[in-house]
Amino acid sequence: MIKIARSMIILHRLCMRLALLQTFQAIIETGTTQGAADKLGLSQSAVSRRLTQLEQTLRIKLFLRDKTRLIPTRDSKILQGQMQILLQRSEKLLTLAEELRQGNSPAIRLRIAFPASLSLSIVPAIIREFLEHSPMVQVELHSGSYDTIERMLLDERAELGFLRMPVQKGGLIETPLVRVNTVCVLPQDHPLAAKSEIDIRDLAHEPLILLGRLRAPRHEIDTLFSQHRIRPNVRLEAHSVLSACGMAAAGLGVTLVNEMMARDYTHMPVAIRTLRQNITHSFAMARPADIPMTEAAQIFLETTIRCLGSHFSSLQTGVQIPSPHG
């Protein structure tokens, strides 16, 4: 709070000095206090007060009065070049400050991290909408596993990161984004594709492509098989939904993955079917707990929530977007 208060004081002083410089420049251009007042949209008395304040600050007489006109003194003429440079720099500084406040500046580099499995259409759609609102911001997109994304956030290599809940490490603040069901992704011509819903018992003898054993979704799937006394026939292990769906499309087996990411691969020759024994996945956008969120990051978070809702609203899916108010 103390830093914010000091910044506000400095900004107020800068604005005051900028106003004095603008007044000086307007008098130079128009030659009268009335002309300067008209140019600046002020009263003549306000211009006179500013001029007096500037002269008191500089301890120099800047103008001589000749009837209704103000004639620059020799000192004033010497200062004109430097005054103009200061005015231009001050205006640039205030413009940059306003851009930063609005989260839309070429000086902003927003670093975000998503799993590669979302990179086909969902993430590009989010970034496209964000840049329509904040076209000057530079976006740096990282991808990796959830563990990698958590480390990037804690190491401050990313400002926002898409994570599966619950997160594994402390020091992060999560904003819930979406809850999704598990689906069965099969080769398009697979006999089970004729069914509208797959029972876990249907997969008892099917060659399976499952996510790596160290991943939380894999533990839940293994538990489900165990509850039904099924020993799964795991032919392949994948470390991303992208690779699991790709191998299913190649006819190498059947996979169980979260629906949100599976829906990104409907262009592949696969069939996506509901799993009767549902396993739910929750995802959130996380950020470092000890770093205040920038305006650009806040806008990106809001854009993500809006885009996810729009992306899945027209589909009959098990994807649920939590209310912004919880």
Contact 285, 301 (CB under 8 A): yes
pLDDT in tens, 138-150: 899 999 889 999 9
Instruction: Tell me the two tokens of residue 92.
Output: 């640039």
CB 197 within 8 Å of CB 148: no
pLDDT digits (tens, 9 = 90+) for 305-318: 999 888 776 555 55
Helix H or strand E encompassing 120: none
**Separation of alpha carbons 309 and 191, rounded Å:** 33
* Cβ count near 50 (within 10 Å): 24
Instruction: Record the pTM.
Output: 0.68
252-280 confidence digits (pLDDT tens): 999 999 999 998 898 999 999 999 998 99
- Token output for 229: 């006394």
Spatial contact of 197 and 182, defined as CB atoms under 8 Å apart: no
Q: From residue 176, give the alpha-carbon distance in Å to each of 104, 114, 180, 250, 324.
A: 25, 15, 12, 34, 9
Tens-place pLDDT, residues 79-118 = 888 877 877 777 767 766 666 666 665 667 899 999 988 8
Report all structural domains of the chain as residue ranges with CATH numbers, in order of start: 2-101 (1.10.10.10), 109-177+282-313 (3.40.190.10), 178-281 (3.40.190.290)
DSSP designation for 121: T
Summarize pLDDT for 211-228 with one digit per residue, the tens: 887 777 788 999 999 999
Query: What DSSP string describes 168-182?
Result: SSSSEEEEEEEEEEE
